[in-house]
A and B are shown apart, each in its own frame.
Chain A
């Protein structure tokens, strides 16, 4: 295995991209990443996407995206791992370069959510559930998170319900200066506390908004990238782990086992401890998932992840900044494209290009994407090259 660096990144604003199709938005991200990488052409492309075959009646995105961006003839196909699809696609690109199979590979995350409306809009998302035993009973990802949240509060009676508000508050605060974020407005604690319940005990602000988006990352070898005008970010840890598809099949549903395992393995590969990192881009699709991810990662003991939210530990000025560009909650949650955004944002931090949101001297970043309630977890450790 050889060293792999990130040579180029590109992203489009997350939100309701009425004017942009799957073709258009992915092309913007692909072209931006290539330009950022000095025009490097990928030899293979891995597309992370969840909805297109149902929501856009479009399969074979590998052909669609390469055809549309004049990359015909290269290896290209989709990788699907629920909302962790583009994180998994990034891992495929990493492995393709690390193995020596190709010298330049691209990971693209693209999602088109807003072409549908009403009940039809969310139907394709419910594919992430166990259809026969969860969805058919009337469950949705939202209520699945509600079940876990309720259980968490039951098992940890000392947990302060309002403390969970720190996660959306931090996310919104960090999104203010992210030009690609969906919600660039800070949230006040009283707004959180007054928000209506959507799946009790989850309120409206505990839930990340689904959106359109596309982001791309170009990976190559340090040698090929050595003359680029920006700092290089190296992928020093990459791992993915699987848990049961349905929450009810887990011996301990509050233990995000796959999240813990993939993070441990990725850190092991990187030769670091989780506590060594300068920030953690985690999967805050729901406030409770941020807490469970922090606990699975070992940043807090079981049942105490919510306590991290009490001080400023998780803010940009704390010891473990999370969701530094807004996270899923405020940057927006473009489903299968989310992982690619998380990587792009981590790269901005490590290059020192995060603007107002810059974490001072950021050198090590931890990025974790989840498919469903950590049915799939993909974790990467990124390092700024000296």
Chain B
């Protein structure tokens, strides 16, 4: 169990809360201690819209520990409309085919469970094909 490390990231994970650099106005996700664009300290919270598009994707047939029950699943790089790219699973794909450039939206889902039925449930962002 690694409760504190999941706990301290809850805002980012549940709601894509990143940062906006107070010096150069860059939108940053995942949050960083130092702005990757201007080198200034970046600490101002910024909630991303959750809308984006698929930058790349791959279907995984074997999964790491904690994700076995979800396999096969689709990993993606998602480019958020504010700019940053995030690594996340695609979910609720159903019978839709995935393509690069496909519009997706963020949802908060179960990412994994530590120690099967006993452990903490880790929730976080995934993306699904935009509805409607």
Interface residues of A (CB under 8 A from B): 119-120, 122-123, 126, 132-140, 142-143, 146-151, 154, 197-202, 246-249, 253
CB of B43 closer than 8 Å to a CB of A: no
Shortest C-beta distance, A55 to chain B (Å), equals 13
Given contacts A119-B64, A137-B87, A150-B56, contact A132 B5 (CB under 8 A): yes
CB of B15 closer than 8 Å to a CB of A: no
A120 is contacted by which of B36, B65, B76 (Cβ under 8 Å)?
A: B65
* A-B interface pairs (CB < 8 A), number: 99
B87 is contacted by which of A126, A142, A202, A246 (Cβ under 8 Å)?
A: A246
Closest to B8 in A: A132
- Whether A136 pairs with B77 at a CB distance below 8 angstroms is no
A147 is contacted by which of B30, B58, B63, B70 (Cβ under 8 Å)?
A: B58
- Whether B58 pairs with A202 at a CB distance below 8 angstroms is yes
Q: Bound state CA distance, A123 and B63, in angstroms? A: 10
- Whether B100 pairs with A154 at a CB distance below 8 angstroms is yes
Excluding A136-B124, A140-B64, 11 further A-B contacts by CB distance (< 8 Å) are A119-B65, A137-B75, A137-B88, A138-B67, A140-B60, A146-B60, A147-B58, A147-B77, A200-B58, A248-B77, A248-B84
Chain A interface, >50% SS class: helix
CB of B51 closer than 8 Å to a CB of A: no
Chain B interface, >50% SS class: strand
Q: Report the count of interface residues on B (CB-CB < 8 A).
A: 35
Mark interface residues in B33-65 (1 if CB within 8 Å of A CB, else 0): 000100000000000000000011111111111
CB of B121 closer than 8 Å to a CB of A: no
- Contacting residues, chain A, for B124 (C-beta < 8 A): 136-137
CB of B9 closer than 8 Å to a CB of A: yes
- Contacting residues, chain A, for B112 (C-beta < 8 A): 136, 138
Nearest 3 CB-CB pairings of A with B: A146-B58, A151-B56, A248-B85
Interface residues of B (CB under 8 A from A): 5-6, 9, 30, 36, 55-65, 67-68, 70, 73, 75-77, 84-89, 100, 111-112, 122, 124, 126
- Whether B75 pairs with A146 at a CB distance below 8 angstroms is yes
- Whether A138 pairs with B56 at a CB distance below 8 angstroms is no
- Whether B87 pairs with A133 at a CB distance below 8 angstroms is yes
- Contacting residues, chain A, for B88 (C-beta < 8 A): 137
Given contacts A147-B75, A147-B76, contact A132 B9 (CB under 8 A): yes
Closest to B6 in A: A136
Shortest C-beta distance, A284 to chain B (Å), equals 19
Q: Bound state CA distance, A138 and B110, in angstroms? A: 11
Given contacts A151-B100, A248-B77, contact A134 B64 (CB under 8 A): no
- Whether A132 pairs with B65 at a CB distance below 8 angstroms is no
- Whether B55 pairs with A151 at a CB distance below 8 angstroms is yes
- Whether A123 pairs with B87 at a CB distance below 8 angstroms is no
- Whether B65 pairs with A138 at a CB distance below 8 angstroms is no
Given contacts A134-B87, A137-B111, A137-B124, contact A199 B59 (CB under 8 A): yes
Shortest C-beta distance, B109 to chain A (Å), equals 11
Query: In the complex, which of the residues A132, A136, A149, A253 has the most CB atoms of chain B within 10 Å of its own CB atom?
Result: A136
- Whether B86 pairs with A248 at a CB distance below 8 angstroms is yes
